[in-house]
Chain A
Amino acid sequence: MHKEFLMGNAAIALGAIAAGLNLTSGYPGTPSTEVLETVAKHRPDQTYVEWSVNEKAALEVAAGAAYAGARTMVTMKQVGLNVASDPLMSLEYIGVKGGMVIMVADDPGPISSQTEQDTRHFAAFSKLPCFDPTSVQEAYDMIQDAFEISEKFGTPVFFRPTTRICHAYASIDVKDESEYKTNAPEGFIKDSRRWVIFPRLSNANHRKIEARNVELSDVFSEYERNELLFEKDAGANATGVSHAAEQSANELPAETTGTAENAGASGFSPVVEATGNTASICPKRGIAAGGIGYALMREVLKGKDAPRTLKIATPHPFPEKLAVRFLEGLDEVLCIEELDPVIERELTYIAGKYHLPVRILGKLTHDTENAGENSIDLVEGYIRKFLEWDKKDRANDSVSQAVPSQDGTQSTIKKGAADSQNGASDKSDDTSAPNRFPAPPALPIRPPVLCAGCPHRASFYAVKRAMQGKKTIFCGDIGCYTLGNAMPLDMCDTCLCMGAGINIAQGVKHIEPDTSAFAFVGDSTFFASAITGIVNAVYNQSEMTVVILDNSTTAMTGHQPHPGTGRTMMGDVVAKINIEKVLRGIGLKFVETVDPLDLTKAIKTVKHAVAEPGVKAIIFKSPCVAIVKPNAPLTIDQAKCIKCKRCIREIGCPGIVITDGNVQIDDSLCTGCTLCSQICPTGAIGGGLNE
Chain B
Amino acid sequence: MNKNIILCGVGGQGTVLASKLIAASAMEKGMKVMSAETIGMAQRGGNVFSNIRISDEDEMYAPMIGTGQADIILGFEPGETVRMLPFLKKDGYVITNLRAVKPTTATLLGSTYGGSEMIGYLKSVIPEDHLLIVDGTKAIAELGNPRCLNVVLLGAAVRTGALGLTEADILEAMPKVIKPKFLELNTSAFKYAG
B-binding residues in A (CB < 8 A): 3, 5, 30-31, 111-112, 135-136, 164, 167-171, 292, 294-296, 298-299, 302, 375-377, 380, 431, 433-438, 440-451, 480, 483, 487-488, 556, 648-649, 652-654, 656-658, 668
Distance from A519 Cβ to chain B, minimum over Cβ atoms (Å): 21
- Would you call B135 an interface residue if the criterion is a C-beta within 8 Å of the partner chain's C-beta atoms? no
Kindly list chain A residues whose C-beta atoms are within 8 Å of the C-beta of B45: 446-449, 451, 654
The number of residue pairs between A and B whose CB atoms lie closer than 8 Å in the complex comes to 167
Distance from A109 Cβ to chain B, minimum over Cβ atoms (Å): 10
Chain B: interface residue total (CB-CB under 8 A): 58
B19, B20, B36, B117 interface centre (most CB from chain A within 10 Å): B36
- The binding surface of chain B is classed by DSSP as mixed
B33, B45, B69 interface centre (most CB from chain A within 10 Å): B45
Q: Which of A171, A294, A483, A556 interacts with B32 by CB under 8 Å?
A: A171
B11, B67, B88 interface centre (most CB from chain A within 10 Å): B67
In angstroms, Cα B125 to Cα A438, docked, is 8
Counting from the closest, the 8 A-B pairs by CB-CB distance are A376-B66, A112-B40, A433-B68, A435-B86, A448-B44, A298-B61, A30-B40, A168-B63
Contact between chains at B69 and A171 (CB < 8 Å): no
17 example contacts (A-B, Cβ-Cβ < 8 A) are as follows: A112-B41, A167-B37, A168-B34, A169-B33, A171-B34, A295-B63, A433-B67, A437-B88, A440-B85, A441-B118, A444-B103, A444-B111, A445-B105, A446-B103, A448-B42, A448-B46, A657-B107
Tell me the chain B residues, 13-53 only, with Cβ under 8 Å from chain A: 19-20, 23-24, 26-27, 31-47
Contact between chains at B36 and A171 (CB < 8 Å): no
Kindly list chain A residues whose C-beta atoms are within 8 Å of the C-beta of B90: 436
Contact between chains at A169 and B62 (CB < 8 Å): no
Distance from A534 Cβ to chain B, minimum over Cβ atoms (Å): 26
Contact between chains at A168 and B121 (CB < 8 Å): no
Given A437-B86, A443-B82 in contact, is the A170-B40 Cβ separation under 8 Å?
Answer: no
Kindly list chain A residues whose C-beta atoms are within 8 Å of the C-beta of B182: none
Contact between chains at A483 and B40 (CB < 8 Å): no
- The binding surface of chain A is classed by DSSP as loop
In angstroms, Cα B110 to Cα A488, docked, is 13
Contact between chains at A487 and B108 (CB < 8 Å): yes
Distance from B42 Cβ to chain A, minimum over Cβ atoms (Å): 6
Kindly list chain A residues whose C-beta atoms are within 8 Å of the C-beta of B100: 444
Contact between chains at A433 and B69 (CB < 8 Å): yes
Q: Which of B62, B67, B117, B146 interacts with A431 by CB under 8 Å?
A: B67
Contact between chains at A652 and B108 (CB < 8 Å): yes
Kindly list chain B residues whose C-beta atoms are within 8 Å of the C-beta of A445: 103, 105-106
Q: A30-B41, A487-B105 are in contact. List 5 more A-B contacts (CB 8 A).
A: A171-B33, A294-B61, A376-B62, A433-B69, A441-B117
In angstroms, Cα B108 to Cα A649, docked, is 6
Contact between chains at B46 and A295 (CB < 8 Å): no
- Would you call B183 an interface residue if the criterion is a C-beta within 8 Å of the partner chain's C-beta atoms? no
- Would you call B59 an interface residue if the criterion is a C-beta within 8 Å of the partner chain's C-beta atoms? yes
A30, A437, A449 interface centre (most CB from chain B within 10 Å): A437
- Would you call B3 an interface residue if the criterion is a C-beta within 8 Å of the partner chain's C-beta atoms? no
Closest chain B residue, CB of each to CB of A648: B107
Kindly list chain B residues whose C-beta atoms are within 8 Å of the C-beta of A668: 146
Kindly list chain B residues whose C-beta atoms are within 8 Å of the C-beta of A488: 108
In angstroms, Cα B100 to Cα A431, docked, is 31
B61, B69, B105 interface centre (most CB from chain A within 10 Å): B61
- Would you call B65 an interface residue if the criterion is a C-beta within 8 Å of the partner chain's C-beta atoms? yes
Kindly list chain A residues whose C-beta atoms are within 8 Å of the C-beta of B69: 376, 433
Kindly list chain A residues whose C-beta atoms are within 8 Å of the C-beta of B39: 30-31, 112, 167
- Would you call B102 an interface residue if the criterion is a C-beta within 8 Å of the partner chain's C-beta atoms? yes
Kindly list chain B residues whose C-beta atoms are within 8 Å of the C-beta of A556: 40-41
Bits for B68-86, please: 1 = Cβ < 8 Å to A, else 0. Answer: 1100000000010011011
In angstroms, Cα B42 to Cα A44, docked, is 34
Contact between chains at B47 and A292 (CB < 8 Å): no
Contact between chains at A170 and B42 (CB < 8 Å): no
Distance from B7 Cβ to chain A, minimum over Cβ atoms (Å): 13
